[in-house]
Amino acid sequence: MCLKRKIDNITEIKIKQTKNDITKMLNTDREKDILYNYEIIRQEGNYNMLDPRAREQTGCMKKEYNYIIENYTKLISKYPNIKGRASKYSTNKKSTKISKLMALQGNKKCKEVVSKKLDVSKSDLCKNCKKNFFT
């Protein structure tokens, strides 16, 4: 009888530990996702990060957003690859926009450049296209 109670206690403790581990893991993943979204919006530079519209763009709750703002330095050092990932995302997003513009309205030379490259930047375009699309 005593052995069964001991086994039940050990099982209960293990279940609690597993639940705690899973909760920590989920919280860590959520924290990374929120920080990543925050960093993308921050790098785009369209909003002051204290502006409520910036929070809306990240898709997180007010409490989570405030936590990111208050602990930004600590979180960035905890997840050092977030800045690089967000920067890469922003670069790809800009490249896609340029490619779409060129495919629809660019001159023949620029359309050829865009069709041959994956990462397109403003510097790949002729003066005329730069003037038409980026002023």
Question: Of the spans 62-66, 90-94, 108-112, which averages the highest pLDDT?
Answer: 62-66
* CB neighbour list of residue 9: distance below 8 Å, 6 or more residues apart: none
Residue 26 has pLDDT above 50, yes or no: no
Between 95 and 67, the higher pLDDT residue: 67
Q: 53 vs 38, 40, 79, 94, CA distance in Å?
A: 12, 14, 25, 21
Neighbours of 107 (CB within 10 A): 13
Q: Output the average pLDDT for the chain.
A: 77
